[in-house]
């Protein structure tokens, strides 16, 4: 009778251990930062954004230089012109300041929107590839390793790059 109890307990222990092993999820990690940083489409997008940013910077500098030149001219002439002219020039300088600030703010917004418009579809493409590779390899979870404190499991970054064609 004791042997049957011992066998029964051993069988339950083995079945319980088997259930624990089966209950563990298969987890992998991927470095999306590395993928996005080396993705040819992303490199092209960054180049486009840098070019657009350079154009905005050049326009902004031109506006500031015009403002400074006009301000210098008006200060030099302020003692030789009437009060009405100085008042009009003061309004003109304030308008130029406002246009410069508005231009800078709009340029920043446009750059952020352009970046979002470019990056969002690329991120969706990377996400779809991660899901595809993860499912093909039988993983239930794929975590982004950029936020992990310990990434001591399968790394599918190279597989995702290969799936994306680079």
Q: What is the pLDDT of residues 31-80, one digit of tens each?
A: 999 999 999 999 999 999 999 999 999 999 999 999 999 999 999 998 89
> Domains (ranges, CATH) in the chain?
2-164 (3.30.910.20)
Residue 102: name the closest of 138, 70, 140, 56 by CA.
Answer: 56
Q: Which structure tokens are listed for 56?
A: 């905005």
Contact 111, 52 (CB under 8 A): yes
Kind plus residue range of the DSSP H or E element containing 28:
strand 27-30
What is the per-residue pLDDT across 23-41, written as a single tens digit (0 to 9) for each? 578 999 999 999 999 999 9
pTM exceeds 0.85 for this model: no
Q: Which structure tokens are listed for 162?
A: 């290969």
> pLDDT value at position 139?
95
What is the per-residue pLDDT across 108-130, written as a single tens digit (0 to 9) for each? 999 999 999 999 999 999 999 99
Residue 9 predicted with pLDDT over 90: no
Residues 6+ apart with CB under 8 A from 93: 67, 70, 71, 74
């Amino acid at each position: 009778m004791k042997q049957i109890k011992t066998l029964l307990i051993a069988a339950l222990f083995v079945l319980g251990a088997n259930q624990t092993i089966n209950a563990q999820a298969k987890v992998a990690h991927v470095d999306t930062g590395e993928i996005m940083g080396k993705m040819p489409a992303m490199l092209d997008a960054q180049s486009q954004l840098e070019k657009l940013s350079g154009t905005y910077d050049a326009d902004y500098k031109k506006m500031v230089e015009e403002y400074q030149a006009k301000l210098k001219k008006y200060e030099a002439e302020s003692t030789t012109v009437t009060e009405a002219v100085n008042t009009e020039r003061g309004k003109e300088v304030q308008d130029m300041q406002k246009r410069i600030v508005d231009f800078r703010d709009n340029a920043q917004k446009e750059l952020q929107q352009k970046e979002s418009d470019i990056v969002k579809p690329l991120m969706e493409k990377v996400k779809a590839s991660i899901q595809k590779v993860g499912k093909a390899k039988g993983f239930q979870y794929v975590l982004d390793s950029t936020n992990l404190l310990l990434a001591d499991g399968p790394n599918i970054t190279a597989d995702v790059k290969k799936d994306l064609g680079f």
